[in-house]
Structure 1
């Protein structure tokens, strides 16, 4: 009987010790890198379709999803229309400035594109609000491909030309 009681006390002590140690390690103080992450917030992007206009006609579409991180301390009221600003910026870059040459997509500079989006958005927001731009998807789908993907099409479905392939952001 004494062996059973001592075994039970030993199991309780080991269990309490392991629970205490796991909680202590899980709530350890955050270092220098964690302090920076507490001030940023991920703003997930929406799927945006940007038409490509050539000779006055729609030639195709850019399918994009761009997320970004913002500095919470620099956001004044917390209700910036960030998705609307990103949509406008993408229309400006992809249609107005034509930063992507459809004929030569391999020459596309992803880092330059991210930097340009970040700089332009921060300029509009009046400070360094955007800390990082994350490109989740950037594809091109020609007008002929969209017709071929319709339910009435008798041709095989074609996939869009992937310009940038990124990881999904949650």
Structure 2
């Protein structure tokens, strides 16, 4: 009789210990899951762009630029279109469809607002926060008169008007789509 009572007590202790350990282990895995996972980003280097500035039905000049993106590597794998194509579309919308740059007052151009507009526009099209950062490598303006003058002068061309002095971005392999 005493043996049966001790075996019952031993089974209860083992059961309580097992429940206690399983609860402790589930809490530690929940804490590990709640810890922030570092976001791995990749750079999508934009293609050089030459966009005409059209006023009153005539070409006034050209925007010359290159803008790159830092994107979430995992989220960008789910994107169907190439990111550089989407970036080009967004730039055409901002520079031609809804002009953000007043060529008469280039000093009033806000690069941070421009970056934010690009980032928000692309993320809204993608439906997720894929774009993490926008990097302006080059954004210049060259008037039609300057281009004509440069074609006539062979030795000493007039440089384009700098809108933003950017920094080159190291190319990294873009995720395949």
Q: TM over 0.5: same fold? A: yes
1:144 has 2:145 as partner: yes
Higher relative contact order (CA 8 A, sep 6+): 2
Identify unmatched segments of 5+ residues in structure 1. Answer: 1-33
User: Structure 1 segments of 4 or more deviating over 2 A?
Assistant: 75-80, 152-156
Distance 2:119 2:65 in 1: 16
1:87 equivalent in structure 2: 88
1:159 equivalent in structure 2: 159
RMSD: 2.0
Distance 1:147 1:155 in 2: 14
Distance 2:154 2:134 in 1: 40
1:124 equivalent in structure 2: 125
Shift of 1:92: 0.7
1:116-155 alpha-carbon deviations (Å, 9 max, x no partner): 00000011111000000000000000001111222x4479
SS of alignment partner, residue 120 of structure 2 = helix
8 Å CA contact 1:148, 1:154 repeated in 2: no
Map of 1:47-126 to 2, 5 A cutoff? 47-77=48-78, 80-126=81-127
Distance 2:112 2:124 in 1: 18
Shift of 1:169: 0.5
SS of alignment partner, residue 132 of structure 1 = strand
SS of alignment partner, residue 112 of structure 2 = helix
Number of equivalences: 135
Distance 2:98 2:105 in 1: 16
Distance 1:91 1:104 in 2: 20
